[in-house]
């Protein structure tokens, strides 16, 4: 197993207008590893991962400083190709958000908007990614049914498949199980563990058990600061910072 | 005491609610009852497929084809004006306008919606008709195009307000998903947002068309009033509503002429009823489609 850095964040500051949401963040995201982001509500977890795929651009008045190196480029540069970036760094949201289209079209979408017209390739990709997302057996006979007819957990797996179809290398999960039942949650966790063999994964979660179950590294954030970052094992057993310990023992948050 | 109060309030509310149904039934019954003389006394094939309308001749002739064609032509031409403008405005408001522009545009559109149609009629007579007469070198500026442009402008707010609601109702998650897959703004708008709002947009169009077909004052003022089958949109015309409004006052109560006018009204009623029915069906489908997004 390689210990390769996939995303290197240095001295990252981020502002929503005048409000500073991230303060001098330094963190290395490892390839083929799962990194968990934890911390109380409003500490900047979503903000941080939305910088990685530049979804933060959608907020008017948002501004980022510092460097986030991915594939040898600072993705904060205005010159980078956002379409390519977003395809390489996929995102799965808190609330499953498949398009109100068929299951097939949901996966084909990312390929089609990128100009892919090869029908047989799209078909191949749909099958391949649904298999990777452990959804193929559930839906292979109803690819042309609306994706909205799937259960919440299935919808979330479809959203994962959708991100995989455009050749993502990194997948950002923002509380992917927050709206799911325990069984669906277990399936998604299993899938995330599976995906780690080929992808760099970052997962935001409020569920400490989940963080300790799935992740290799854990970052604890508080009020826009990255308080502590280390192996999940270390963070959960011998946290160095008293704040981390307080949070993990449920004293706040 | 409280129980009694509740009962009273409940019955008052149910009376008001059922009043609309009673009115609707009353209207349908009246239309039918008054149309009966015409339904029996006029050959219905003649009525629908002849364009000779001469109630004062003897024998009188009652053919409404030219009015139906005029109504359709005005409806289509006006729709061609209000659909692109109305939807364009809705898309602009939803996707492009900043909050400052919204603050100006939205009230302006609401004011436009509140202007009585007769004011639009004045504007059309005083400005639009002479203008078009000049440009196209017409004997008179009162023609289908004048009426259609006016009606089209008048119904922009109908489309804009409903279509903009529909666009705004599209969950932000759909758009985020599209952006996160590398979609740009236009791809997201065309492939995700508009399809998700499609039924609402279609509903707005159908309601606007219903409004256009049923509008009376403007066509009476500026469509020209000719009973010949219109051969172009620069020809004068007299749609169904104009005929009713123009002749109802003179037709003897209970006469065949009087009844024939009611039958035109009955036809109009069914046309708008069907339009409403279609839009209701579509918007229901739309609510189901989006509502299930668990
Ligand atoms: N679009 C925005 N505009 C302005 N401020 C924002 C915006 N989004 C987030 N913020 C603020 O930035 C801070 C960090 O928010 P963020 O959503 O990143 O927190 P989070 O850690 O993901 O919280 P949660 O656990 O509740 O999801 C918060 O104070 C929040 O109010
Ligand atoms: Mg968040």
Q: Which residue of B has its CA nearest to A165?
A: B181
**What φ, ψ does residue B241 adopt, rounded to 5°?**
-60, -40
pLDDT-based confidence at A251, cuts 50/70/90?
Answer: confident
Q: Using the mean position of ligand 2's atoms as its centre, give its distance from the Cα of residue A46 in Å.
A: 4
End-to-end CA distance of chain B: 44
pLDDT, position A143: 95
Q: What is the pLDDT of residues A118-150, one digit of tens each?
A: 999 999 999 999 999 999 999 999 999 999 999
The closest alpha carbon to A37, from A195, A233, A227, belongs to A227
Could you tell me the CA-to-CA distances from B255 to A59, B34, B69, B184, B249 in Å, in that order? 69, 10, 25, 65, 12
Q: Do A90 and B195 lie within an 8 Å CB cutoff?
A: no
Which H helix or E strand runs over B69?
A: helix B65-91
Residues with CB under 5 A from ligand 2 (ion): A 46
Q: How many CB atoms lie within 10 A of CB A75?
A: 21
Residue A24: strand, helix, or coil: strand
In this prediction, residue B284 carries a pLDDT of 76
Judge whether residue B108 has pLDDT over 70. Answer: yes
Report how far residue A136's alpha carbon sits from residue A158's, in angstroms, rounded to the nearest whole number: 10
Interchain CB distance below 8 Å, A55 and B195: no
A183 vs B: CB within 8 A = no
- B214 interfacial to chain A (CB closer than 8 Å): no
In chain A, which residues have their Cβ closer than 8 Å to the Cβ of B191? 109, 113
Q: Is the peptide bond before A51 cis (omega within 30 degrees of 0)?
A: no
Mean pLDDT, chain A, rounded, equals: 94
Give the closest residue to A192 by CA, choosing from A178, A206, A208, A211.
Answer: A211
- pLDDT tens digits along A99-115: 999 999 999 999 999 88
| Predicted confidence (pLDDT) per residue in B211-224, tens digit | 999 999 999 999 99
Question: For A166-208, how does the pLDDT look when each residue is reduced to its tens digit (9 = 90+)?
Answer: 989 999 999 999 988 999 999 999 999 999 999 999 999 999 9
A48 alpha carbon to ligand 2 midpoint, in Å? 9
**According to the model, what pLDDT value does residue B279 have?**
83
pLDDT in tens, B37-82: 999 999 999 999 999 999 988 889 999 999 999 999 999 999 999 9
Which residues does chain B have within 8 Å of residue A148's beta carbon, measured at their own beta carbons? 289, 292-294
Q: What is the mean pLDDT of residues B150-165?
A: 94
Interface A-B, measured as beta-carbon pairs within 8 A, has a size of 78
**Confidence label for B286 from pLDDT (cuts 50, 70 and 90):** low
Separation in Å, CA B127 to CA A171, B149, B219: 61, 12, 15
Residues with CB under 6 A from ligand 1: A 16, 19, 21, 39, 41-47, 59
What CATH code would you report for A5-248?
3.40.50.300
Query: Which residue among A97, A148, A151 sits closest to B177, beta carbon to beta carbon?
Result: A97
CATH of region B53-293: 1.10.3720.10
Query: Closest residue of B to A173, CA-based?
Result: B180
Task: Name which of B174, B177, B178, B200 to mutate to probe chain A: the one with the most chain A Cβ atoms within 10 A of its Cβ.
Answer: B177
Which residues 90-129 of chain A have a CB within 8 Å of chain B? 90-91, 93, 95-101, 109-110, 113-114
Domain ranges of chain A: 5-248
Q: For tokens 């191949």, what's the residue?
A: A124
Residue B288 with chain A: CB contacts under 8 Å: none
CB contact set of B60 (below 8 Å; sequence gap of 6+): B54, B256, B257
Residue identified by tokens 């390929």 is A111
CA distance B106 to B90: 10
Alpha-carbon distance of B210 to B207, in angstroms, equals 5
How many residues are listed for chain B in this entry?
294
Question: Residue A32, class by beta-carbon neighbours within 10 Å (0-12 exposed, 13-18 middle, 19+ buried)?
Answer: middle
């Amino acid at each position: 197993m390689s210990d390769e850095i996939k995303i290197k964040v240095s001295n990252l500051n981020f502002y929503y207008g005048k409000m500073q949401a991230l303060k001098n963040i330094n963190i290395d995201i490892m390839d083929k590893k799962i990194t968990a982001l934890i911390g109380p509500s409003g500490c900047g977890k979503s903000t941080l991962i939305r910088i990685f795929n530049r979804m933060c651009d959608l907020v008017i008045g948002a501004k980022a400083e510092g460097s986030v190196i991915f594939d040898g480029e600072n993705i904060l540069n205005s010159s980078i190709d956002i379409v390519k970036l977003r395809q390489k760094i996929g995102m799965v949201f808190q609330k499953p958000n498949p398009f109100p289209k068929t299951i097939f079209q949901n996966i084909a979408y990312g390929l089609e908007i990128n100009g892919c017209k090869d029908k047989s390739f799209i078909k191949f990709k749909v099958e391949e990614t649904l298999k990777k997302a452990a959804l193929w057996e559930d839906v292979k006979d109803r690819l042309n049914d609306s994706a909205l007819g799937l259960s919440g957990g299935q919808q979330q797996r479809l959203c994962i498949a959708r991100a995989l179809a455009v050749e993502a290398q990194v997948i950002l999960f923002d509380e992917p199980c927050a709206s799911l039942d325990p069984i669906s949650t277990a399936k998604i966790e299993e899938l995330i563990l599976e995906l780690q063999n080929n992808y760099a994964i970052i997962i935001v979660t409020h569920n400490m058990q989940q963080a300790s179950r799935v992740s290799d590294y854990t970052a604890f954030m508080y009020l826009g600061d990255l308080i502590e970052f280390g192996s999940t094992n270390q963070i959960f057993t011998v946290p160095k910072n008293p704040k981390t310990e307080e949070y993990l023992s449920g004293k706040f948050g | 005491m409280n129980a009694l109060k509740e009962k009273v309030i409940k019955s008052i509310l149910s009376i008001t609610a059922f009043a609309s149904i009673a009115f609707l039934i009353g209207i349908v019954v009246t239309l039918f009852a008054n149309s009966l003389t015409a339904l029996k006394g006029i050959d219905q094939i003649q009525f629908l497929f002849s364009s000779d309308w001469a109630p004062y001749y003897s024998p009188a002739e009652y053919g409404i084809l030219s009015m139906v064609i005029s109504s359709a032509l005005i409806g289509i031409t006006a729709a061609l004006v209000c659909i692109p403008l109305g939807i364009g405005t809705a898309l602009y408001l939803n996707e492009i306008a900043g909050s400052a522009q919204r603050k100006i545009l939205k009230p302006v559109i609401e004011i436009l919606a509140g202007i009585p149609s007769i004011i639009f009629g004045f504007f059309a007579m005083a400005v639009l008709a002479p203008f078009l007469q000049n440009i196209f070198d017409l004997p008179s500026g009162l023609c289908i195009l004048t009426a259609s442009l006016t009606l089209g402008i008048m119904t922009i707010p109908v489309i804009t307000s409903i279509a903009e609601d529909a666009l705004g109702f599209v969950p932000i998650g759909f758009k985020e998903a599209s952006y996160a897959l590398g979609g740009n703004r236009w791809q997201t708008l065309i492939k995700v947002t508009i399809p998700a709002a499609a039924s609402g947009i279609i509903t707005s169009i159908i309601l606007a068309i219903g409004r256009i077909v049923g509008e009376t004052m403007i066509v009476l003022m500026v469509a020209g009033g000719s009973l010949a089958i219109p051969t172009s949109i620069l020809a004068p015309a007299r749609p169904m509503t104009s005929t009713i409004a123009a002749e109802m006052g003179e037709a003897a109560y209970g006469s065949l002429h009087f009844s024939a006018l009611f039958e035109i009204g009955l036809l109009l009623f069914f046309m708008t009823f069907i339009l409403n029915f279609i839009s209701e069906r579509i918007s229901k489908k739309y609510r189901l489609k989006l509502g299930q997004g668990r």
